[in-house]
Amino acid sequence: MKLLVTGSSIRGLPVVSIAEGEDVAEVRDIIYHAEAGAVVGFTLNKRGMLAGRLKQGLPIEQVHAVGRDAVMIDDGSQLVAPEDAPEAVGSPETERDVIGNDVLTESGVSVGAVTDVVVLAGRGGQVVGYQIKLPGGGEGYIPLPVQLAVSGAALVVPDVTRDFVCNDLVGLGAAVDEFRARLGIA
Amino acid sequence: MAAQGRKVISRASAEELGSVSHLVLDSDNRRIALVVVGKRRKARVVSWEDLSGFGADAVMVSQDEALREPQDDREQAAAMGDLELLGRRALSDLGNELGKIDDVVFDPDSGALESLVVGEDERPAGSLLGAGSYAVVVRADGAESAPRQWQS
């Protein structure tokens, strides 16, 4: 079993320094690179009511763990100024947004439209699935291979994905390994 | 740590200097660093080193001067109650809330932390990673990487 969290549930989480026990920021948005299959970092807000955007960002390499209730960093020095940030984190507007994109199988059948990304908790920010709006209405989850083809308009997934559409995150947690095993990916 | 409300007595003058409001942890060394006496703006602090005894009935200080104004930022925060341990959110280093700190067990002779009680769970002192105004952070135990109730 894996602990999975959706992108929308990560937004707004406090960023907590382990050494100090302080909430140093909160997640404004997640920066996701679909080709890499991973979250590459976070943009941040200041903590507190009416607090604005924080200039610094948080690259995923600096994250100790993404959890259900907080994003953990070792101490406050993990936040990086925009000029020091890796390109992917410093210029999030270049990110290709997958929300709303149609998910097509290799044989051309629509599985649904992406409504959110599903992140494996812990280190690394690996994106293991998408939350999708099913063609027949309703919500579902699909597992993802490690890498996939992405264009501005559509995502192409293996045909076998259709056998692994899950109703909830618990189901997806169990399905990811089996799905990848079926595709022959470790 | 039913230390709250315990009298603080000067050994030199036998005067009662106040009563314990709460204790503050040094998470690097995993020991009690500071005793906060009185509340809020009237709060004073005593360093653990300046205690001559942490007894069941009273906390003894060697002299009246041991009770002092908070000095640096951390002591100010402690005096204002921002670092009080009991009731503080307990967070694992994996970013999952474990509950609240219900008790803090320490050696009254050395001030060394023995364990943190979080609900039904007792976490050994060695699992403590940091303590601040937002949370007390402890190392996740083996069970945490898997359990079903965290799948939401």
Topology alike, domains B7-79 and B89-145: yes
- Tokens, residue B71: 């000095």
Is the predicted pLDDT of residue B148 greater than 60, yes or no?
A: no
The confidence band for B145, taking pLDDT boundaries of 50, 70 and 90, is low
Q: In this complex, is the C-beta atom of A58 within 8 Å of any C-beta atom belonging to chain B?
A: no
Residues A17 and A64 in one domain: yes
Is the predicted pLDDT of residue B7 greater than 80, yes or no?
A: yes
Give how far B148 is from chain A: nearest CA, Å: 7
Q: Which structural domain, as residue segments, surrounds residue A135?
A: 102-183
Residues A11 and A32 in one domain: yes
Is the predicted pLDDT of residue B151 greater than 50, yes or no?
A: no
pLDDT in tens, B71-126: 999 899 888 888 989 999 999 999 999 999 999 999 999 999 999 999 999 999 99
Distance CA A46, CA A25 (A): 5
State chain B's mean pLDDT as an integer: 89
Give how far B12 is from chain A: nearest CA, Å: 37
CA distances from A66 to A15, A122, B60 (A): 9, 5, 45
CATH superfamily membership of B7-79: PRC-barrel domain (2.30.30.240)
pLDDT in tens, B110-123: 999 999 999 999 99
How many C-beta atoms surround the C-beta of residue A129 within 10 A? 26
Q: What is the pLDDT of residue A84?
A: 77
- Tokens, residue B122: 């007792």
The structural domains of chain B, with segments of one domain joined by +, span 7-79, 89-145
Mean pLDDT over B4-19 rounds to 92
The total number of structural domains in chain A stands at 2
- The last residue of a domain, from among A94, A111, A139: A94
Is residue A163 helix, strand or coil? helix
Q: Say if residues B102 and B85 touch (Cβ distance below 8 Å).
A: no
Distance CA A39, CA A44 (A): 14
Task: Read off the pTM.
Answer: 0.87
Give how far A148 is from chain B: nearest CA, Å: 25
Q: What is the pLDDT of residue A93?
A: 43
Q: What is the pLDDT of residue B136?
A: 96
Interface of A with B in 122-181 (CB under 8 A): 122, 169-170, 173
Is the predicted pLDDT of residue B70 greater than 60, yes or no?
A: yes
List the B58-61 sheet strands across, edge first: B44-47, B31-37, B16-26, B7-10, B58-61, B51-54
| Percent of residues, chain B, with pLDDT higher than 90 | 74
Residues A89 and A123 in one domain: no
Q: What is the pLDDT of residue B147?
A: 43
Mean pLDDT over B42-46 rounds to 93
In chain B, residues with a C-beta closer than 8 Å to the C-beta of A4 are: 151
Give how far A61 is from chain B: nearest CA, Å: 15
Backbone angles phi, psi at B137, to 5 degrees: -100, 125
Find the CATH number of the domain harbouring A73: 2.30.30.240
Q: What pairing do the DSSP bridges indicate for beta strands B7-10 and B58-61? A: parallel
- Asked if the B89-145 domain carries CATH number 3.90.1150.10, the reply is no
For A133-149, b/e burial (b = at least 16 CB within 10 A) is beeeeeebbbbbbeeee
Residues A86 and A136 in one domain: no
For B112-123, b/e burial (b = at least 16 CB within 10 A) is ebebbbbeeeeb
A64, A68, A72 ranked by CB distance to B150: nearest: A68
Q: What is the pLDDT of residue A155?
A: 85
Nearest CA-CA partner of B138 in A23, A25, A120, A21: A21
In chain A, residues with a C-beta closer than 8 Å to the C-beta of B137 are: 16, 18, 21, 72
In A4-133, where does DSSP find H-type helix? 7-10, 87-90
Any idea what the Cα angle at residue B46 is, between residues B41 and B47, rounded to 5°?
130
Give how far B21 is from chain A: nearest CA, Å: 21
Across the A:B interface, residue pairs with CB atoms under 8 Å apart total: 84
Q: Spell out the per-residue pLDDT of chain A, length 186, in tens.
A: 578 999 999 999 999 999 999 999 999 999 988 777 889 999 999 998 777 899 999 999 999 999 999 999 999 888 888 777 776 665 544 344 788 889 999 999 999 999 999 999 998 899 999 999 998 889 999 999 876 677 767 888 999 999 999 999 999 998 998 998 898 875
Q: What is the pLDDT of residue A90?
A: 53
Residues A149 and A75 in one domain: no
Residues A77 and A110 in one domain: no
Nearest CA-CA partner of B77 in A40, A21, A50, A32: A21
Across the interface, whether the CB atoms of B94 and A67 are under 8 A apart is answered: yes
Q: What is the pLDDT of residue B2?
A: 65
Please give the ipTM for the structure prediction: 0.85
Chain B residues whose C-beta is within 8 A of a chain A C-beta are: 27, 91-97, 129-137, 145-148, 150-152
In chain B, residues with a C-beta closer than 8 Å to the C-beta of A68 are: 95-97, 150, 152
Residues A88 and A11 in one domain: yes
Q: Which residue of B has its CA nearest to A15?
A: B95
Residues A89 and A121 in one domain: no
Interface of A with B in 77-116 (CB under 8 A): none
Residues A90 and A12 in one domain: yes
